[in-house]
């Protein structure tokens, strides 16, 4: 206690003069500020999962305009939509290329091949955006073991498979990398009737933090993004199913939640999320790791 008390009463100048590394400290203070990076993503490659629509498609368009080459993934039923996004991105970003890769992120073999596709096509992988996810609206009293299994297979194992396979490739390359995963505001506070979904997003926060700790030595960062209420197919489903429970017509639940919960007063669009992911995929976020960043117009305040 005494030592701590005394230390707190030493002036900063006196404290500095007592250290043996004053020169080092002064040099650090006087060093020229580090340059901010401009867009330095040229010739880097990113994988985006769940890229055929919604938030994944917006992230893909944004990363292509930031200068990334892309491998875009989705499940077989979405393959023609995926092809459409890939060719749209390639034709609207001269010099950039987006290639589709169909596979299921819950299957580690598919994810291994997805990462290999990036290496085969572009020679490397710098950024993994583990965006794919599913939602389910069901009261806790009705949830089954199969419901939990499916949710965790896609939302938790899917993200983990993407992080793990990408990290192995990034370690081989030896120049670091970025792992990004889709969490949600329900990773901070669940919504009723989204129990298994909310728990899966809590898990994404947790595994992202652990990856950040373990992979820092390889200069690999891991962060998650946490959207709020985004007008996509996923929220169409949530709106419809919550509406069935409350007797609200289609479209009324998302409107009510948006009006009552969002400080900025409008439902989010996928591009709101893509802007945050663009930052997290850029060199400007080099000192950010282990975070789950909320982009929700002010529902959850961290």
Ligand X SMILES: NC(=O)c1ccc[n+]([C@@H]2O[C@H](COP(=O)([O-])OP(=O)(O)OC[C@H]3O[C@@H](n4cnc5c(N)ncnc54)[C@H](O)[C@@H]3O)[C@@H](O)[C@H]2O)c1
In this complex, which beta carbon is closest to ligand X, that of residue 102 or of residue 216? 102
Q: Taking CB under 6 A as the rule, which mask of x and - marks residues 177-206 in contact with ligand X?
A: -----x-x----------------------
CA 222 to chain centroid: 9
Of these, 45, 60, 69, 106, which contacts ligand X (CB under 6 A)? 106
Query: Helix-strand-coil percent breakdown of the chain, rounded to 5?
Result: 55, 15, 30
Q: What string of DSSP letters covers 169-202?
A: HHHHHTS-EEEEEE--GGGTSPPTTBHHHHHHHH
# residues near ligand X by CB under 6 A = 29
Q: What is the DSSP letter of 77?
A: G
Range in contact with ligand X (rule: CB under 6 A) among 32-40, 73-81, 141-149, 256-264: 73-81
Catalytic status, residue 163? no
Shortest distance (Å) from residue 233 CB to ligand X: 4
Q: Is 258 a residue that touches ligand X (CB under 6 A)?
A: no
Shortest distance (Å) from residue 64 CB to ligand X: 17
Range in contact with ligand X (rule: CB under 6 A) among 38-46, 67-75, 88-96, 278-286: 67-75
In this complex, which beta carbon is closest to ligand X, that of residue 70 or of residue 229? 229
Q: Is 154 a residue that touches ligand X (CB under 6 A)?
A: yes
First to last CA, the chain: 33
Return the H-helix or E-strand segment holding 25.
Answer: helix 22-30
CA distances from 37 to 173, 233, 286, 289 (A): 22, 35, 10, 18
Could you tell me which residues are beta bridge partners of residue 230?
Answer: 268
Could you say which residues in the range 224-243 bind ligand X, by CB under 6 A? Answer: 227, 229-230, 232-235
CA distances from 230 to 14, 184, 258, 262, 299 (A): 54, 10, 10, 11, 12
Range in contact with ligand X (rule: CB under 6 A) among 50-58, 83-91, 139-147, 207-215: 50-58
Could you say which residues in the range 123-152 bind ligand X, by CB under 6 A? Answer: 131-134
Of these, 44, 48, 52, 164, which contacts ligand X (CB under 6 A)? 52
Residue 280: count of CB within 10 angstroms of its CB = 21
Phi, psi of 265 (to 5 degrees): 80, 15
Range in contact with ligand X (rule: CB under 6 A) among 31-39, 51-59, 171-179, 274-282: 51-59
In this complex, which beta carbon is closest to ligand X, that of residue 44 or of residue 205? 205
Shortest distance (Å) from residue 99 CB to ligand X: 15
Say how far apart CA 59 and CA 51 lie, in whole Å: 8
Q: Which positions lie near ligand X, rule CB under 6 A?
A: 49-50, 52-56, 73-75, 78, 104-106, 131-134, 154, 158, 182, 184, 227, 229-230, 232-235
Q: Catalytic residue positions? A: 197
């Amino acid at each position: 206690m005494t030592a701590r008390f005394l230390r707190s009463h030493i002036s900063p100048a006196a404290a500095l003069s007592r250290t043996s590394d004053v020169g080092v400290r002064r040099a650090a203070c006087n060093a020229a500020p580090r340059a901010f990076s401009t867009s330095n993503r040229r010739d880097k490659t990113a994988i985006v999962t769940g890229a055929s629509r919604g938030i994944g498609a917006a992230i893909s368009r944004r990363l292509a305009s930031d200068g990334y080459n892309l491998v875009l993934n989705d499940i077989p039923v979405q393959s023609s939509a995926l092809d459409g996004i890939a060719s749209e991105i390639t034709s609207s970003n001269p010099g950039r290329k987006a290639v589709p890769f169909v596979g299921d992120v819950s299957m580690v073999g598919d994810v291994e091949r997805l990462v290999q596709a990036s290496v085969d096509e572009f020679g490397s992988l710098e950024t993994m955006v583990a965006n794919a996810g599913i939602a389910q609206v069901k009261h806790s009293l009705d949830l089954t073991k199969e419901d939990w299994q499916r949710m965790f297979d896609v939302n938790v194992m899917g993200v983990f498979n993407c992080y793990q396979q990408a990290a192995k490739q990034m370690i081989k390359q030896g120049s670091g990398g970025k792992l990004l995963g889709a969490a949600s505001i329900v990773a901070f506070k669940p919504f009723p009737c989204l129990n298994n979904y909310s728990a899966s997003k809590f898990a994404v926060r947790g595994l992202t933090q652990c990856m950040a700790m373990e992979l820092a030595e390889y200069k690999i960062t891991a962060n998650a993004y946490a959207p709020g209420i985004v007008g996509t197919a996923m929220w169409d489903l949530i709106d419809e199913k919550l509406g069935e429970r409350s007797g609200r017509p289609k479209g009324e639940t998302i409107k009510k939640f948006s009006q009552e919960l969002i400080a900025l007063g409008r439902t989010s669009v996928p591009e709101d999320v893509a802007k945050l992911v663009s930052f997290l995929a850029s060199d400007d976020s080099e000192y950010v790791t282990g975070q789950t960043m909320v982009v929700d117009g002010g529902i959850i305040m961290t």
